[in-house]
Chains A and B, each alone.
Chain A
Amino acid sequence: MAGNVIEFRHISKSYDETQVLKQIDFEIEAGKFYTLLGPSGCGKTTILRMIAGFLQPTAGDILFEGQRVNDLPANRRQVNTVFQDYALFPHLNVAQNVAFGLEIKKVAKGQIAQKVEEALRLVQLSGYGNREISELSGGQKQRVAIARAIANEPKVLLLDEPLSALDHKLRKEMQSELRSLQRRLGITFIFVTHDQEEALAMSDQIFVMNAGKILQSGTPVDIYDEPINHFVADFIGESNIIPGKMKADYVVSFDGHEFDCVDAGMKQNEPVEVVIRPEDLDITAANTGQVNVTVDTQLFRGVDYQITAHDVNDNEWKINSIHKTTVGQLVGLAFDPEDIHVMRYGEDEATFDARLERYE
């Protein structure tokens, strides 16, 4: 397993009575951009702090390049962190902040200056070395925090919701910058966020977490198109989730009708949930689509209209459409078999992956 830089084996963490991590297992390959995604309190930051060395697991092993590092203190691990509040040292200027880790390692003076310059150049802050931290804007502090971490040339860079304090525009900018920085440096990034859009935009691999467990891991496209369960479908993007029944392989029934789909490997008449993304629904004239719905609300969002509607069974539908409609109007909804994704209740990730493997 030469490609794995970090491995978690059966990691649990408890504080007194409460278990914050339950039997976590995962492998992190070198050179990729990973995102731990989940709502606050799901345990994602706990995992990050364990990798950094600020927390020890209650049970299980943390492996760094194949070596068990459970008891290695933070200051001796080859990982660096970009903290949520940046945690820049206010008594040092920009260059001194970036040089901190190198000075601790007793790198030669000339080399330090060169590495600091290089790190600042990478985050587009060349020439800011003599600035005081208090003189920087939020975005600049962010960049200094990144420069300080990468100056140490860590094997893994940990980012703890680093963009959460920035405004929308700056956040978008930093997302693409971080992504290209990771590609250029070629080191592993582990990024923690609760923002699904951010996760989808930046990552090679996403771990979706909830309540101390990793629910699903995969590429952004996999997770978006084939969420494992209700929580993931709901948390990642917008979705219509309707209860249904699996009639046979590739046939599912919901809303009183049977539809063709692309899912298989389930029991006959197994109760399931069906996911259809709002942007996959097309609005047609009444009775010409697969379902008829009555429009309840309509919001213009610039690129499209966000429409909510209900069908005769009182299921609520969200539709994103570039065409305008009228509130109170009866319209048809059209979708293709590929737009339907069927989820089983309580299926774990291993079974889910195995099932998909069989028929894809």
Chain B
Amino acid sequence: MKRDHPIRWSNLYLLLVFIVLYLPIIYLIIYSFNAGDTMDRITGFSWRHYLTLFADTRMISIVLNTVIIAVLSALLATIIGTFGALGIDQLKKRSLQNGILSLNNVLMVSPDVIIGASFLIFFTFLGVKLGFGSVLLSHIAFSVPIVVLMVLPKIKDMSQTMIDAAYDLGATKWQTLTRVILPAITPGIFAGYFMAFTYSLDDFAVTFFVTGNGFSTLSVEIYSRARQGIDLEVNALSTLMFLVSLLLVGGYYLLNRYNEKKKIHRAKASQEVDDA
């Protein structure tokens, strides 16, 4: 009975952390239904700000831009990063591998402003026009190392004998790559794509530096709107984005649970067959 006490205190602490963590988000969501125009006082329920949002073609095109950049940059970064990881793994010299990995990690640990500022100098130096292209290139650039870091451990985990087995069964190098290696590291590739995608969606600082005047992503747009004060259309947008995130996370979690349960179930079944 004595043990109950600390546990209750700890639950209270966790509750507090979660409240603080979710307070701003819930706050945003509640005020997105406010009939008024400020985040001070709720004057009534209304879908008004959602209607404004759906009618705001500039905002909608910016959301589309953001998604397109995220999908494309994550895709290209995944391709470059996966082949990069495969190549790094092939290198015989350990010191060379480590050297390349250090370079790989430079962009992982560099502050966003440094990446943004240095890319700005780089694009200006090359005479690349700032806009969609420069933003896409930047997003690919800072996503590549994440993909490498997600894929490389999967490659290292893969047993060498599995690849030997593929050759042994007659597969060529290409067949071994496409039929054995890539399927084996698929979870890493997906995780890499997913991370790259969210990094891209979330990025503000780098984009802010290299976006120029004509092109904008969601983060940059919210920043400029927020500097002008409260606009409940932004609240409506965040509510929708939160719902999408929630659906994604929930779906992902349930899928994982389902797969694991199925596995355990079937493993048990085969165990019983063994014993019989």
Check whether chain A touches chain B (CB < 8 angstroms): yes
Binding site for B on A (CB under 8 A): 52-54, 73-76, 79-81, 83-85, 87-92, 100-101, 104-105, 131-132, 134-137, 139-140, 148-149, 152
A171 vs B159: C-alpha distance in the bound complex, in angstroms? Answer: 24
Residues of A within 8 A of B179 (CB): 100
B266 in the interface (beta carbon within 8 A): yes
A134 CB → nearest B CB, Å: 6
Given A91-B183, A136-B270, A104-B162 contact (CB < 8 Å): no
Contact of B170 with A89 in the complex, beta carbons under 8 Å: no
Residues of A within 8 A of B267 (CB): 134-135
- Most chain-B CB neighbours within 10 Å: which of A53, A75, A76, A84? A75
A54 contacts which of B162, B167, B266 (Cβ < 8 Å)? B167
Residues of B within 8 A of A80 (CB): 168-169
User: How many of chain B's residues have a CB under 8 angstroms from any CB in A?
Assistant: 25
A327 vs B24: C-alpha distance in the bound complex, in angstroms? Answer: 83
B101 in the interface (beta carbon within 8 A): no
B5 CB → nearest A CB, Å: 43
Q: Mark B249-276, 1 if CB is under 8 A from A, else 0.
A: 0000000000000010011011100100
B127 CB → nearest A CB, Å: 46
18 new A-B contacts, CB < 8 A, other than A75-B168, A100-B171, are A52-B168, A73-B167, A75-B169, A75-B171, A75-B172, A80-B168, A85-B159, A88-B165, A89-B166, A89-B183, A90-B184, A104-B170, A104-B175, A132-B263, A132-B266, A135-B269, A135-B270, A149-B168
* Main SS class of interface, B: helix
A105 vs B171: C-alpha distance in the bound complex, in angstroms? Answer: 8
Q: Mark B142-163, 1 if CB is under 8 A from A, else 0.
A: 0000000000000000010110
A131 vs B268: C-alpha distance in the bound complex, in angstroms? Answer: 12
Residues of B within 8 A of A81 (CB): 164-165, 168
B186 in the interface (beta carbon within 8 A): yes
A75 contacts which of B159, B170, B186, B263 (Cβ < 8 Å)? B170
A186 vs B79: C-alpha distance in the bound complex, in angstroms? Answer: 47
B222 in the interface (beta carbon within 8 A): no
A357 CB → nearest B CB, Å: 40
Contact of B184 with A137 in the complex, beta carbons under 8 Å: no
Residue of B nearest to A85 (CB): B161
Contact of A89 with B168 in the complex, beta carbons under 8 Å: no
Residue of A nearest to B176 (CB): A75
A141 CB → nearest B CB, Å: 11
